[in-house]
Amino acid sequence: MTNITAGMKRLIAALKRGQSSDGSWNYPFETGISTDAYMIILLRTLEMHDEKLIQGLAARILSKQEENGAWKLFRDEQDGNANATLEAYYGLLYSGYIEKEDPRMKAAGNFIREHGGLESANVITKIMLSTTGQYPWPESFPIPVEIMLLPLSFPFNFYQFSVYGRVNLAPILILTEKKFSIKTENSPDLSDLLLTRARWDIQPEYRSFLSFIKEGVEDLLGLPEQLHSLAMDRAKDYMLERIEPDGTFYSYFSSTFLMIFALLSLGYSKDEPVIKNAVAGLKSLRTDIDGLPHIQYANSSIWNTSLINTALQLAGVSPDDPAVRKANTYLLMRQHDQLGDWAIHNPHGKPGGWGFSDVNTLNPDVDDTTASLRAIARSVEDSSEYQDAWDRGIQWLVSMQNDDGGWPSFERNTENPWLAFLPIEKGKYMFGDPASADLTGRTLEFLGNYTNLPAADPLIKNAVNWLLDHQEQDGSWYGRWGICYIYGTWASVTGLVAAGHSNHPSVRKACGWLKKIQNEDGGWGESCLSDSQNSYVPLNASTLTDTAWAVDALIAAEDQPNEQIQKGIQYLLNSIEKEDWTTAYPKGQAMAGSFYIHYHSYRYIFPLMTLAHYRGKFGE
């Protein structure tokens, strides 16, 4: 077998070279072309003509077009993605750098029409189209703005949505109530993509749902005219009170984009500081990939930095190494010290978590908190500052466990059967934050391997039971934030092993499933189709990240380096410097069927962790 230590040294060197002067790592968080198209549309609509950026974004979008005129979300998506193609087409036309008669645009237009035209767009895209004057607003939206006024005791209220859902929903409620639209003299004409002239409307069976909410508000609070104005103010205040230091609304692209238009609909001038700061915040999300600009959906520097710092230390880099010390200092400075929306469902919890992004001060999450705690773990004994951060982080983490024993991402106990009635596609992704196998498994792994919490503690036992109850029939687990079943199985197996259950039948079954899906070349690879099909779909090619996850799970659960582990390790060592489509294939997801993430850091992080675990357990 090729020398493991030599392979690790190459990965360590590559990671150290990528560290920024402030101690962080800023590998791109690449999310397709949607944000690039939206940025062009935003800048053109506001008549903020940053030509260099717009031209660069248009060039990037064009570089991703398929031969049939479509755009794809991932390589093996059949034919193309109609929604992404529509967004790309609109953004390119509005850029002014390509004509409608260009053969590439004609092919894109034909693809859009063949797949249902504007009418087939998803709800967020339709809102963008309506806001920019390209599509008629519906008579009513599935959720009325009055939901802002319903108390927490009401069976369906604004805070039953996940924070990810709320931050997009608040501006949407304003926009749909105002039926706001804004065009410029340079707005493209997309009318040839409107096939039926039908209004975007909601189905009759949901009108009773709307009535239920409106009547609930009126019964509780009084006259509808006064309530409407109060609800609009509440939605506006929700946005303005959650603007981060960089001007973004909760540090997300989509919520900030929508907030800008919502504020314009309320009479704000595009020259007001809140609008200018928001645009500047979105511009700050720019990264460059292959010489072209990309607007990231969010900055991922906390996630990158915590994972990389942990991987380096697992691989033998000392906690006193300058790279580790700088990274830990960076992380300590970004631990949260104020209450956020998470406290609504966790009123006794105290701040102490970490968020995903460099500028995130309001929205900690369980994943980034366990990742950051792992990163600082080896420095805690020698420093009261680290000890305090450690104690606050663990206190917050433990307080976030759901009553069902699992861990959510952002807020505890938000699962609500009412969400199933929402007439919005992907509603469970937009609005729900239930416990997931990846969050629960990784939290269990952290508590089992990095703390002194006994396996008999109810906290551990309840999490173990949650995982056992949510295993798939084939032995895998579904991972919410990654692709998908390999990811969830890795997190669950490593968590269960850390809790002392390496010989449990569920773990053995999971290992059997992983061995069964190994590729001939020794690697593993899973398609993004898995999440929308709700079952494992092979990629028919191996990737570094999938292989690292699968082998890491097997290393944790097996006593000996069996043939499958050996072949997987050999694949990693042979592929460390590989550069092809598999290294750019998305390994993260946020919304099945529409939002996939290529983390540029993963190809280094997870192979290094896996090689370190192999060497630590089995030697060279």
> Taking the alpha carbons of 144, 147, 148, 149 in that order, is the dihedral positive or negative?
positive
Q: In what order do the strands lie in the sheet with 588-591?
A: 29-30, 595-599, 588-591
In this structure, is the dihedral angle defined by the CA atoms of residues 390, 395, 401 and 406, taken in order, positive or negative? positive
H-state helical runs in 477-543: 485-498, 505-516, 529-533
Per-residue 3-state assignment (H helix, E strand, C coil) for 235-286: HHHHHHCCECCCCCECCCHHHHHHHHHHHHHCCCCCCCHHHHHHHHHHHCCE
Query: Which residue's structure tokens are 């997309």?
Result: 190
DSSP H or E stretch at residue 292: strand 292-295
Query: Which residue reads 């962080």 in tokens?
Result: 24
- CA distance linking residue 234 with residue 242, whole number of Å: 13
Q: Clarify whether 367 is annotated catalytic.
A: yes
Decide: 146 and 213 in contact? Cβ < 8 Å: yes
In the chain the first and final C-alpha atoms are separated, in Å, by 9
What is the residue-wise DSSP string for 552-608? HHHHHH-SS--HHHHHHHHHHHHHTT--SGGGGS--EEEETTTEEEEETTHHHHHHH
**Candidates 36, 246, 358, 367; catalytic one:** 367
In this structure, are residues 182 and 133 in contact, taking their beta carbons and an 8 Å threshold?
yes
Tokens coding 135: 């599509």
Question: Which residues have a catalytic role annotated?
Answer: 367
